[in-house]
């Protein structure tokens, strides 16, 4: 890829993760978690060994999207054992707090928990670790950029709306500031194809992210349409199951996964 660095490899003993991909966005609600989670499952279906880390410590949504519960155990040498969705290991702050409990922390605790999720979790050998970043702020990005495991690239999710694009540009600038390479932009909620008449409606507009990527000399990784099946699956805790079983819903995600 002309703009992406070669996959970063960790030199640290015990960490056997080939490529870490951080999925971020400029603001909430653009589908960052849905895209991160769906992308992890899609990469796995394409034959890779994948893990999913929910770094949205204050608003973890991966356990809900995947319908996962349980308290992670510790291995004898004190590593966190991830909770599995099929074969996919997942770690999230959501496994450590009650669903309606707020996480109120100062920066250093956030920093520490992110480093534990990354470095003290029994991930095994992975081709990809997908990280669902919190929206906007640079806290977690800063921690990741200073951590032991290099981030190969950040995927920035945005919707076609002008405001979302402005926020995406801020997110890109934030990644660049902390020296995390940006792998590219994904346009989510890019149009809706009516299942009855097959006509496409560009509800939030379309093409804005592609133009913005070009303007910023970044790869455009693809567009994901508004798909009520994904929304329903996420709400019902069945996102992983639906991505695994529904090839039509998965098709646009496969394009993005292959563009990485």
Q: Kindly tell me which of 74 and 247 has the beta carbon lying closer to ligand ADP.
A: 247
Rounded Cα distance between 215 and 58, Å, is: 33
**Residue from 61, 113, 143, 206 binding ligand ADP (CB under 6 A):** 61
- Annotated binding residue at 30? yes
For position 134 contacting ligand ADP by CB under 6 A, the verdict is: no
Rounded Cα distance between 13 and 251, Å, is: 37
**Residue from 68, 152, 165, 189 binding ligand ADP (CB under 6 A):** 189
Rounded Cα distance between 158 and 162, Å, is: 10
Kind plus residue range of the DSSP H or E element containing 92: strand 88-92
Rounded Cα distance between 136 and 156, Å, is: 11
- Annotated binding residue at 33? yes
Q: Kindly tell me which of 15 and 68 has the beta carbon lying closer to ligand ADP.
A: 68
CA 180 remoteness from chain centre: 15
For position 30 contacting ligand ADP by CB under 6 A, the verdict is: yes
Kindly report the CA angle at 250 between 237 and 150, in degrees rounded to 5? 80
Within 219-248, the residues that bind ligand ADP by CB under 6 A are 224, 226-227, 230-231, 234
For position 187 contacting ligand ADP by CB under 6 A, the verdict is: no
Tokens in use for 53?
Answer: 């880390």
Residue 190 CB, shortest distance to ligand ADP, in Å, is: 8
Of the candidate spans 14-22, 31-39, 175-183, 194-202, the one that interacts with ligand ADP by CB under 6 A turns out to be 31-39
Rounded Cα distance between 182 and 153, Å, is: 5
For position 32 contacting ligand ADP by CB under 6 A, the verdict is: yes
Rounded Cα distance between 175 and 168, Å, is: 11
Residue 231 CB, shortest distance to ligand ADP, in Å, is: 4
Q: Which residue is nearest to ligand ADP (CB)?
A: 31
For position 85 contacting ligand ADP by CB under 6 A, the verdict is: no
For position 212 contacting ligand ADP by CB under 6 A, the verdict is: no
Give SS3 for 149: coil
Helix residue spans in 98-238 (DSSP H): 107-119, 139-146, 162-177, 208-215, 228-235
Q: Kindly tell me which of 122 and 238 has the beta carbon lying closer to ligand ADP.
A: 238
HSE of 22, CA atoms in CB hemisphere, 13 A = 33
- Annotated binding residue at 26? yes
For position 28 contacting ligand ADP by CB under 6 A, the verdict is: yes
- Annotated binding residue at 28? yes
Rg (CA), the chain: 17
Residues that bind ligand ADP (CB under 6 A): 25, 28-34, 61, 135, 188-189, 224, 226-227, 230-231, 234
Binding site for ATP, by residue number, is 26-33
């Amino acid at each position: 890829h002309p703009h992406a660095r070669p996959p970063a490899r960790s030199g640290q003993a015990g960490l056997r993760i080939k490529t870490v991909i951080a999925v971020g966005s400029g603001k909430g609600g653009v589908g960052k978690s849905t895209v991160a989670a769906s992308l992890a499952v899609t990469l796995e279906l394409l034959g890779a060994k994948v893990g999913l880390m929910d770094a949205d410590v204050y608003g973890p949504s991966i356990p809900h999207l995947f319908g996962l519960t349980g308290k992670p155990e510790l291995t004898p040498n004190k590593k966190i054992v991830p909770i599995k969705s099929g074969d996919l290991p997942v770690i999230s702050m959501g496994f450590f707090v009650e669903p309606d409990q707020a996480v109120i922390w100062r920066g250093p605790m956030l920093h520490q928990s992110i480093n534990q999720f990354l470095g003290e979790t029994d991930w095994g050998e992975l081709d990809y670790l997908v990280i669902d970043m919190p929206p906007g702020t640079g806290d977690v990005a800063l921690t990741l950029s200073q951590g032991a495991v290099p981030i190969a690239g950040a995927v920035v999710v945005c919707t076609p709306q002008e405001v979302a694009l402005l926020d995406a540009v801020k997110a890109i600038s934030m990644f660049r500031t902390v020296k995390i390479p940006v792998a590219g932009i994904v346009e989510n909620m890019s149009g809706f194809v009516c299942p009855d008449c097959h006509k496409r409606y560009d509800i939030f507009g379309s093409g804005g992210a592609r133009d913005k990527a070009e303007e910023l000399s970044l790869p455009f990784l693809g567009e994901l349409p508004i798909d009520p099946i994904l929304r329903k699956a996420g709400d019902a805790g069945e996102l992983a199951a639906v991505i695994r079983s529904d090839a039509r819903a998965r098709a646009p995600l496969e394009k993005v996964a292959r563009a990485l």
